[in-house]
Homo-oligomer: A and B are copies of this chain.
Amino acid sequence: MNDYQFLNVELKDSVVRIQLNNPEKANALNGQMWKEIQQVFQWMDEEKKVRVGILSGAGKHFCSGIDVTLLFEMSQGLGEEPGRRSEALRKKILEFQEAFTWIEKCRKPVIAAIHGACIGGALDLITACDMRYATEEAKFSIREIDMGMVADVGTLQRLPYLTNEGALRELAYTGRNFLGSEAAHLGIVNRCFPDEKSLHEEVEQIAKIIAEKSPLAIRGLKQVMLYNRDHSVTEGLNYVATWNSSALLAKDLADSAMAFMQKTKVEYDD
């Protein structure tokens, strides 16, 4: 769990703190970091002791987006023949997407705590998290348009579930900056805070609350809400009924009901 070159990972009291850690480069996403992001969320999914995760950035910024040197490396490894070049490029993009999608596949909630810059690929990253909190002065931008390209690692797919289409299009077409306060107003982050300290205190507090709930129910919640996002209401209702036909037989429900009546607190198994 500690063998990451560009991540700090610390697990305490069922909460894992994952920190992008290449502060000299404003935590720009290089090839290695991208791989480690996939690895850490695969690990988080498997590791029973983890119940919730917090994602943040070391240093002055959350993350400045994709490292330009990665773009150059990538461009050179694609070969010459145009058909195979396109095929290789498509495969590469799918790999990048897959890494971030592991935040969703990880059955435990991930909370992003954002300060400083959160640009381009960093937005793709945080939209894959369950919740987002920021400082008022955090600076966001769907910057890809200024590289002459369409963002392709998740921002455009996941932002519609956070804000309205009109706002999304303005931000995507213009690539303009917007601050934590506007992000909160638009629904892109849950709330914003005056400084990093209050941001982290609040995020730690939310993580702690979630960590005390039934881990089985929390894992179920995440998977059921993910299913709902991509299905009709009718489909979603059928799915959760099928899901709960086994999940409701868990000990957690009986223990919770008992605790509810006795006004005690349950210590759930992982």
Contacts and interface: CB of A to CB of B under 8 A. Distances in A.
Interface residues of A, number: 98
Given A166-B132, A244-B93, A249 B145 contact: no
Given A157-B233, A164-B162, A173 B130 contact: yes
Contacts of A163: 164, 187
Interface stretch (A13-21, A28-36, A53-61, A234-242): A234-242
A152 interface: yes
Nearest to A256: B148
Contacts of A145: 213-214, 217-218, 221
Given A169-B225, A247-B86, A156 B253 contact: no
The oligomer's copy count stands at 6
Interface of A is mostly: helix
Interface in A162-219: 162-170, 172-176, 187-190, 206, 209-210, 213-214, 216-219
A150 B213 CA distance: 11
A138 to B, nearest CB: 15
Nearest to A165: B161
A83 B252 contact: yes
